[in-house]
């Protein structure tokens, strides 16, 4: 499925990021690239009439930014993506670049969230996010068979 162009060249950039973030990509994909590709993917497939989602990638930025976010109430370890299907539990996805793993704070919070009934997953590619959406039966506009260059 080719994504619709909303600005000059934007569709091609979305597809490029998605291709790089697919599971089989040979080069290293940064976590920031993965965040952008997953956000593009979710914009394309999530039906806002049935599901709301947002992202807040809080990682990086150093100690000053971390202290500011903590002072504003952000919990250390909070997952990057929040998905709220209608009349269902909160679904959370932590994005990690290939070879990176959740911190001890993230793992501990993920376990507490699961104990509260939330669904939590760690994903390293758009393919893994798509698999999690399927496993969790998140309503979508449709399936994307492949990102076409």
Token pair 């994504």 in the structure block, residue = 3
Instruction: Give a yes or no: residue 3 inside a domain.
Output: no
pTM: 0.76
**Number of domains comprising the chain:** 1
Instruction: Give a yes or no: residue 85 inside a domain.
Output: yes
Instruction: Give a yes or no: residue 30 inside a domain.
Output: yes
| Best CA proximity match to 114, nearest among 83, 81, 82, 91 | 91
Instruction: Give a yes or no: residue 118 inside a domain.
Output: yes
* The pLDDT value given to residue 108: 95
Tens-digit pLDDT profile for the chain (149 aa)?
A: 334 434 444 445 545 555 554 544 556 788 889 999 999 999 999 998 899 999 876 666 778 887 888 888 888 889 999 999 998 999 999 999 999 999 999 999 999 999 999 999 999 999 999 999 999 999 988 666 554 43
Separation of alpha carbons 83 and 119, rounded Å: 10
The domain in which residue 99 lies consists of: 10-135
Instruction: Give a yes or no: residue 57 inside a domain.
Output: yes
Instruction: Give a yes or no: residue 100 inside a domain.
Output: yes
The CATH number assigned to the domain holding 120 equals: 3.40.1350.10
Does residue 127 contact residue 23 with C-beta atoms inside 8 Å? Answer: yes
Does residue 39 contact residue 55 with C-beta atoms inside 8 Å? Answer: yes
Instruction: Give a yes or no: residue 58 inside a domain.
Output: yes
């Amino acid at each position: 499925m080719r994504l619709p162009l909303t600005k000059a060249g934007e569709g091609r950039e979305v597809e490029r990021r998605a291709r790089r973030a697919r599971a089989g990509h040979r080069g290293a994909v940064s976590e920031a690239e993965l965040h952008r590709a997953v956000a593009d993917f979710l914009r394309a497939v999530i039906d806002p009439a049935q599901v709301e989602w947002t992202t807040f990638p809080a990682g990086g930025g150093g100690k000053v930014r971390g202290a500011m976010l903590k002072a504003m109430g952000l919990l250390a370890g909070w997952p990057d993506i929040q998905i709220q299907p209608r009349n269902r539990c909160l679904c959370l996805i932590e994005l990690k670049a290939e070879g990176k793993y959740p911190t001890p704070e993230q793992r501990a919070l993920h376990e507490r969230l699961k104990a509260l009934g939330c669904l939590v997953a760690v994903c390293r590619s758009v393919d893994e996010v798509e698999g999690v959406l399927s496993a969790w039966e998140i309503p979508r506009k449709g399936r994307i068979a492949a990102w076409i260059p």
